[in-house]
A and B are shown apart, each in its own frame.
Chain A
Amino acid sequence: MTRVIIGLMIVLCVLVGAGVLGILDSGATDVFLEATRPDFQKIPIGVFGFQNGGGPEWLGGRIEEVLKADLQRSLVFTLVDLPGIGVKAREVTTTDRAIFKQAAENGVSVLVWGKSGQKNVSKDSELLMDGFVYDSGSDEVVGGKRYVGSTSVVRLMAHRFADELVFRYTGEPGIARTKIVYVAEHGNARELFVMDYDGYEPKQITADGFLNLMPRWSPDRRFIVFTAYRSRNTQDIDILELATGKRWTLVSMPGLNITPALSPDGNFLAFASSQDGNSEIYKLDTRTKASQRLTVNQGGDLSPSWSPTGRELAFTSDRGGAPQIFVMSADGSNVRRLTYEGDYNAAPAWSPRGNWIAYVCRTAQRLYKVCIVSPDGQKRVQVTTGPGIDDSPSWSPDGRHLTFSSTVDGKSHIYMVDTDGKNLERITFGGTHNSSPSWSPAL
């Protein structure tokens, strides 16, 4: 048992180290190792109940449910069915060592339990959650967390606890507190919304009444850049500060002003505009406001997506007649075509670890699905299958999941899937048209 954990820790240290080196390294392809590699062994974790001490009836159950879903989605842990391995206790305390021992002997590496309720009797609005962790490797209760807040942060308490666990065992911040910005139909208009990564707590962030499209996060999560139709005849690229609702226009050229994307350092906006005749990719320095045209050809160039180092851009171009994925250096040089299979490949999204570029591929059956390709073009995998038009793939900051829109259930909704095509999960349920998801960076 301990051997597994030690092995795991060593693997994880290597991963973290490689990640750090990868970021600092000047290699053009930015390949990092990742925890989705086939030999990565998930950490068996058991979750006991969260004792309910005087809060709303649903409180303990809700925390347990959200926490379990988060741990499952982390792909770092695998949930162990405790009763299934003979550990019958529902509720434990830090002193229940015999129970911990029994679970450990049955292959569980980490155990989690807690308490929830009101912080004190007099103030009924404040809720409290205590969470505790036992580690079988050290045979110790390694520690706990206490969160306090209103009913509106109960899901956040569980998300935060899940991220602490992921952080403890991988050194990565976890994705349970990340968000997704997307477009939803609202009245006769398309407006921007932000929701938790699991589809809960959607909040509207624009109310323009016409078309707002293609939102993307700033690297520090404070801003959203997007295309806004200012009237029925003209488009801008706008930027919105989430905390204040303040809004600025960054680009306002004749013709298309689409597919904005901020560089990983936040200093450059890449976008497509047709001001010079057909759609070309430009780069705007947000400090000096100087701009540079990066593509020059007769075809349409669009959808720039930055590599994690900011040194390269993947983009769509139909310079050969049909749209294909290309890669170029951030100054427009070294253009090379990346996709050769099929006659329609578009909407590239470079993974945060650098090792994949996700995009929409049209299959031989003329279905629009999500594919991934390595930046050297050597490896290509179709991630989604079946009916429905898939669009706008966007990576989770841990590089283990993709969110995208699909019409597989009739109307367009937002989904998430692991990079190997497993665990497809629909995350929007309301509304008539949810599209264009963009996953936030980690906190």
Chain B
Amino acid sequence: MSIRVAAMGLTIGVGMLLVMQAGCSKKSIQSGGDTQSSERGMAKSGAPAQSQGQVPPPSQGQLSSPSGLDAPSATFPDLSLSSKPEDPETGGLRGFDSVSGGKAPSEERLGGGGTMLAKVEPSESTARQIEEIRREQAKEQAASAEAGLRDVFFGYDSWTITEEGRLSLTQDAQWIKANTGALVKIEGHCDERGTLAYNLVLGEKRAKAVRNYLVELGVGANRLSVVSYGKERPFCNERSESCYQQNRRGHVVVRSK
């Protein structure tokens, strides 16, 4: 008796869930306009956009304007839940089949392992992009070494420029002012402690503190750019305070372009 009550309860519970899910599994046509692979706007570096799969390279212009968030021009994929296509490989559960009287359960065929993932093979364009990044970095390093630019180091959790940092930046400012054609980039770096996300913000604060001090020293703001690498591109990989100190850095480099 009470078993039946419980079973009924369960049926109702499951039923409610099924009713809810029914709304999501409705099949509808996939959004149009997304026939381009990797529609990446503003490929400033000229580096080719990544193309995964055999789809043609991007041709649809700018996605978003750098001056404001409004009205990026190209298409977005349709992200609404109702556009979800039915997926027989990974779709809903079907419950158990009765096997009374030695009957075999009906067959469910499972598709080839990672069918939901497109295969990524490093393409020629990726190789070019990697090469471009490597070349750029080497160029920056050489130019910065030649210029003798000094980096600024920060305290734990801090983006305040120390007395020592000011001395370094005073020298850097002299070089930048003397080399009127040079563009300078400040990379903000952090040690490995703390979260990845907040360290990106902290790295930017450090880079901007350096930029602002250089501007105070009379360097034109239009010659200075900043980028934060957070804790993702450390100079030193050991777990020690001396290593951490090296990684809490405003890295001042001559930009290659």
Contact = CB atoms under 8 A, between A and B. Distances in A.
Contacts of A425: none
A172 to B, nearest CB: 8
Task: Tell me if A's interface is mostly helix, strand, loop or mixed.
Answer: mixed
B197 A346 contact: yes
A33 B9 CA distance: 17
Contacts of B144: none
B69 A291 contact: yes
B172 interface: no
A94 B102 contact: yes
A230 B97 contact: no
B105 A246 contact: no
Given A137-B3, A138-B3, A13 B129 contact: no
Interface string A182-215: 0000010110001000000101111111110110
A232 B110 contact: no
Interface of B: 2-3, 5-7, 9-10, 12-14, 16-17, 20, 24, 34, 36-45, 47, 49-50, 52-53, 55, 63-64, 66, 69-72, 74-77, 79-81, 83-84, 90-100, 102, 104-114, 116-123, 126-127, 129-130, 132-133, 136-137, 140, 157, 185, 192-198, 200-202, 204-205, 225-229, 232-233, 239, 255
A387 to B, nearest CB: 10
18 contacts: A2-B2, A6-B6, A10-B6, A143-B98, A147-B109, A149-B109, A164-B94, A201-B113, A208-B126, A210-B130, A232-B140, A248-B40, A248-B76, A252-B66, A256-B200, A274-B204, A322-B157, A346-B195
Given A258-B201, A347-B197, 13 more contacts: A20-B17, A148-B110, A160-B93, A201-B114, A205-B120, A231-B136, A245-B120, A248-B34, A248-B40, A289-B71, A290-B70, A366-B193, A368-B194
Contacts of B5: 6
A354 to B, nearest CB: 16
A250 B76 CA distance: 7
B197 A302 contact: yes
The 6 A-B residue pairs with the shortest CB-CB distance, nearest first, are A143-B96, A209-B130, A245-B52, A152-B113, A245-B118, A16-B13
Contacts of A274: 201, 204
A43 to B, nearest CB: 13
Contacts of B227: 232-234
A316 B126 contact: no
B3 A289 contact: no
B69 to A, nearest CB: 4
B195 A347 contact: yes
Contacts of A168: 95-96
Contacts of A6: 2-3, 5-6
A239 B10 CA distance: 39
Contacts of B195: 303, 316, 346-347, 360, 368, 391-392
A44 interface: no
A138 B100 CA distance: 14
Interface in A133-186: 133, 137-138, 141-150, 152-153, 156-157, 160, 163-164, 167-168, 171-174, 177
